[in-house]
Structure 1
């Protein structure tokens, strides 16, 4: 039974139509694809200038026929109530709503219209087939976080059931837990692994210490897809050696979907079907292929909410071998997260703080930016910028969330600042350890 497709359909996401549209786009020849991309760029700008009051105000001087006149938007521009940013005819009742992970330190709530979201899933389904993986039938070993409150927990577990996934915790990466993980692999016919890079690397390091190769214990494994964090070459070699399967690099963002996916030739193919990806310099000028700059992306189909020349907060470079129809992502700088080490000896992924930061994300856009620093083994500091001071109740809620997701008896300090220190590249790293 195709439970995954059925669940999308039940929730109002027209996956059958999305797959048909995706196939139509993919059948275009080079000339037709170039024409299609340029037309879709103009169409989405025209649509939002006509139907989105927020975008009309934001892009007053925009001319759909002059791409250089289209302003670059950042996450800071979108930190205001969601209903101020929705297009005419869209409400919180008829769109897909989610929150960004806050991995760049700039959290906000966003929306996608239901066809746009279905097209995102169609893209993922298509790419996974490159490696003979099927969302409806392939069993996934999932290294992701999970909400610990009852409603969120069971909601994610139900989604895991529909998607044939078994979720491993990233909140505990100690040897005792990793041994339990290994035993689950021994007794389950997993087809592939998917999850946070750092968590899977920690599992591979455990296997290395134990002199084990995972696919000798779980021979059904076909591939490992790493996402959400940088994959360094030495880690890729480690994963290939200890897992014994191909390692696939996935690059995406919650608000946009799939941005790039590694193919069977180790090429990092940029999504040109429903996104338009640019690399810009600090003055918003397009850089030639081979030069490193800011990753700026346009969602060509999202009519509910504009993501037009949207600065994702990452630094990257397109290969010199790229063409308009086949851009190749050569390097990506960003989303690197440290491992959290705690007094009990427990280890957790830096992205564990995603579930903590949900506590400080509010739809009124008060908290603009934040960073979390581990000062000592048991002391953490949260620095943030906001329109007004966080209440004592809110601070206590954050402390309680940290205690729940990591462990109790940790010292948490808070400091409200007018601005947060950024890297030379302008990147704001959400978590940093000084251990």
Structure 2
């Protein structure tokens, strides 16, 4: 049973206040700043950048040293850094963030710091810290985007999700909390045919206004409904939001055909934060107030709008552990267009990078690849990794070990994977100096050669 939207919104506000997250005040600010002109938006960004750099100079020794070496110290202290000045700083990457974490984290940040680990889709799991400002910005950004689609805070939503943090809390108390804020969680790590039948029934009973989930999991559920001949009746549904990986054209078409509404793509990352969301006009709008996004070539130089390059971000809400000129490893293309809706937010044409695959267990369960990525990312000693499923009962695990690797780590990898895929799983663990990219040049960190028994079995290479 759902509760009235006004009640769910009240509970959500109370929850955010109790957690000391200024989500709704940030939302009010985003509702205002999105209508700034592009020129006024740059002024807003410059002000926020100077605040971030001043904080970094005071509280983050690694960044402070870089600012001094770049000759920006005086301008930072004066609050006079221009957006163009940022290019004087060298870029940073995951290794920098991992190796210098104690010189990067500001443990005294107002509201406290919270430890997190990336999903490892880049092949290099990262432990990092974020604060209340980052949490509030991500939540407010999603709330703003939902409003673009006519979905107000407190409306019924479904989450096709599965991070272990959420799964560990799906107890009685959390289920009650979810219902009080009108959220229904479906586990994307457990998508057997029988379980997906249950999900389709739950969706129709819940009749959500919005559905949010991994792109490939949403497509898998849509393919299952179509294969079953189930015509979904979701009269309240306004939008399906796809996140976590690129959405291929055939997946978009499938989801929109089955669910009967448009798909809105979300672009974000655990470490970098929420960076762009798709509007009803079909454009991917940047979170310009909270992120600067540079698009650079292999030499680190800016590419022209309309050309592909690596997304290098500066999160303006990352003072707990600043990500400044951070190389995401994602390939994106900035648009030459403006927002047709009149907002001053930047526009991305596409996000081409980061894709995962599905893993099929011997008992027929279909699991999102992140279910295995989470196993590897949590084990000390695993520097980089790649998983290749050759058969239902055979998994190749390539590991580039770091200094913490030992036999305990080896045993943890094997035990963790067998816990997910079954005790009979044959694990071929190979220690390597490096992991080569695919023939296409892409770095895919989970690859399954086991075909899916659904419409999703079609190849995505042409997308």
Q: TM-score, normalised by structure 2?
A: 0.84
With 310-319 and 65-74 compared, the bigger mean Cα shift is at 65-74
Rounded Cα–Cα distance in structure 2 between residues aligned with 1:149 and 1:190: 20
Among candidates 31, 44, 48, match of residue 39 of structure 2: 31
8 Å CA contact 2:273, 2:315 repeated in 1: no
With 350-359 and 308-317 compared, the bigger mean Cα shift is at 350-359
Provide the residue aligned with 2:142 in structure 1: 124
Among candidates 394, 399, 416, match of residue 431 of structure 2: 416
CA RMSD, aligned part only? 2.7
Q: Which runs of 5+ in 1 are unaligned?
A: none
Classify 1:343/1:230 alpha carbon distance in 2 versus 1 (closer, same or farther; 3 Å).
same
Provide the residue aligned with 1:192 in structure 2: 210
8 Å CA contact 2:157, 2:209 repeated in 1: yes
Among candidates 9, 14, 17, match of residue 9 of structure 1: 17
How many Å apart are 1:414 and its aligned residue? 1.8
How many Å apart are 1:167 and its aligned residue? 1.9
Rounded Cα–Cα distance in structure 2 between residues aligned with 1:148 and 1:256: 19
Classify 1:70/1:150 alpha carbon distance in 2 versus 1 (closer, same or farther; 3 Å).
closer
Provide the residue aligned with 1:356 in structure 2: 375
Matched, 1:228 2:244: yes
Among candidates 281, 284, 290, match of residue 297 of structure 2: 281
Matched, 1:255 2:274: no
8 Å CA contact 1:277, 1:297 repeated in 2: yes
Among candidates 64, 67, 70, match of residue 89 of structure 2: 70
Q: Which runs of 5+ in 2 are unaligned?
A: 1-6, 73-80, 451-463
How many Å apart are 1:158 and its aligned residue? 6.5
Rounded Cα–Cα distance in structure 1 between residues aligned with 2:258 and 2:286: 28
Instruction: Find the residue that maps to 2:389 and give its secondary structure.
Output: strand
Provide the residue aligned with 1:434 in structure 2: 449
Classify 1:354/1:58 alpha carbon distance in 2 versus 1 (closer, same or farther; 3 Å).
farther
5 Å-filtered alignment, 1:93-132, equals: 94-132=112-150
Rounded Cα–Cα distance in structure 1 between residues aligned with 2:209 and 2:373: 27
Rounded Cα–Cα distance in structure 1 between residues aligned with 2:62 and 2:177: 33
Among candidates 57, 64, 81, match of residue 49 of structure 1: 57
Instruction: Find the residue that maps to 1:229 and give its secondary structure.
Output: coil
8 Å CA contact 1:175, 1:206 repeated in 2: yes
Among candidates 311, 314, 318, match of residue 302 of structure 1: 318
Q: TM-score, normalised by structure 1?
A: 0.89
Rounded Cα–Cα distance in structure 2 between residues aligned with 1:424 and 1:35: 43
